[in-house]
């Protein structure tokens, strides 16, 4: 009688395991899949943010290098012009006039020109 009892218990366990067990396995695997998807999305987000921070840092470093180079170039130009005109202050004065002229042009004459130029550069950088 004991072997028959064992068989009945196994059949009941299998019948209980049937649909409810299948639903439980499905829910468990769905939750595990959702966790894996969320983990993958978070890792992708971290990678994208790291890439954006690296790009912003590179642009900032390049901008600083460009500004330093431009400052030395302007100083050298002013010294050269001053040397050619026999008065060092005259070279700095002429370079300053060029910058003031650019400022006046972009603020009074064509205020939209600089904005449009920068807008085109930014759009071309993203394409």
* Residue that is written with structure tokens 């395991």 in the block: 17
Both ends of the chain: CA-CA distance in Å? 80
- Using one digit for the tens of pLDDT, what is the confidence trace for 13-70? 455 577 888 888 889 999 999 999 999 999 999 998 998 888 889 889 999 999 999 9
Question: CA-to-CA distance for 105 and 20, rounded, in angstroms?
Answer: 78
Alpha helices in 1-127 (DSSP H): 2-17, 19-84, 88-104, 111-126
Q: Return the minimum-mean-pLDDT range out of 16-20, 90-94, 118-122.
A: 16-20
Q: What angle do CA 115, 116, 122 make, to 5 degrees?
A: 90
pTM of the model: 0.55
Q: Where are the domains of the chain?
A: 1-60
Its sign, for the CA torsion 62, 65, 68, 69, is: negative
Among 114, 67, 74, residue whose Cα is nearest residue 94: 74
């Amino acid at each position: 009688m004991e072997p028959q009892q064992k068989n009945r218990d196994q059949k009941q366990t299998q019948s209980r395991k049937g649909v409810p067990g299948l639903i439980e396995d499905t829910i468990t695997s769905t939750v595990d899949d959702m966790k894996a998807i969320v983990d993958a999305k978070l890792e992708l987000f971290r990678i994208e943010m790291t890439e954006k921070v690296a790009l912003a840092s590179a642009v900032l470093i390049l901008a600083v290098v460009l500004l330093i180079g431009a400052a030395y170039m302007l100083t050298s130009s002013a010294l050269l012009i001053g040397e050619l005109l026999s008065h060092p202050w005259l070279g700095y004065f002429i370079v300053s006039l060029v910058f003031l002229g650019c400022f006046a042009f972009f603020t009074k004459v064509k205020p939209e020109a600089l904005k449009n130029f920068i807008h085109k550069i930014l759009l071309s950088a993203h394409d």
